[in-house]
Amino acid sequence: MRAYLYDNLDTDCREPHEQIPSVPVSVEELEASGVLYWRLKDENFADQIDKICEERNYKNRDQITVSKEGLGELFDAKIKTFFAEHLHEDEEIRAILEGTGYFDIRDKKDRWVRIKVEAGDLIVLPAGIYHRFTLDTNNYLKAMRLFKEDPVWTPLNRPCDENPYRKAYLEAIEAN
């Protein structure tokens, strides 16, 4: 995983969009925005996932392959939905199994922070954080999606600042 400030250029979102010079963002800075990160080791990947699931009460899981082949005729629509700035009323928890991609999150100053993920990365975006997702130019990512109860995937597009989960998120990170 690498994270850095996004350059905000209006070009292909699958390009890195890293500012020159780069402005790296640390795991601690991500945590200040409520984003959690684990690096899972190949040799005991399953055990580590199970441990995190037990500790954080994630009871269910499934898998998604974000690629033309994996999503078929839904591909274009899904890619567009994923990259529209949105929030969820539940955590977004993804363990990357194969491939690469980018999660962009809004930090405390409302700047885009780009998080490059690859196989072995587990990321948790808190409920209420504005974010988006895109593949990179490899056009392939397979992820395990973890959730506490039934999955709530509904993306609520910005602006939804009056949403109670948005307000609770802002209060929580303010207290950080």
Ligand X SMILES: CSCCC(=O)/C(O)=C/O
Q: Which residues bind ligand X (CB under 6 A)?
A: 64, 66, 82, 92, 94, 101, 131, 133, 141, 143
Of the pair 82, 140, the CB lying nearest ligand X is at 82
Question: Between residue 79 and residue 98, which ones bind Fe ion under the rule CB under 5 A?
Answer: 92
Cβ 132 to Fe ion, closest distance in Å? 7
Q: Report which residue's Cβ sits closest to Fe ion.
A: 92
Of the pair 47, 84, the CB lying nearest Fe ion is at 84
- Tally Cβ neighbours within 10 Å of residue 174: 8
Q: Please tell me whether 29 is known to bind a ligand.
A: no
* Calpha distance 151→60 (Å, rounded): 8
Instruction: For residue 116, give every residue at least 6 positions away whose Cβ sits within 8 Å of its Cβ, in sequence order, or none.
Output: 1, 2, 3, 16, 100, 101, 102, 136
- Quick one: what does residue 102 bind among Fe ion, ligand X, none, with the CB cut-off 5 to 8 Å set by partner type? none
Instruction: For residue 64, give every residue at least 6 positions away whose Cβ sits within 8 Å of its Cβ, in sequence order, or none.
Output: 70, 142, 143, 145
> Phi and psi at residue 36, in whole multiples of 5°?
-110, 150
List the binding residues.
86, 88, 92, 131
List the binding residues for Fe(2+).
86, 88, 92, 131
Q: Which residues bind Fe ion (CB under 5 A)?
A: 92
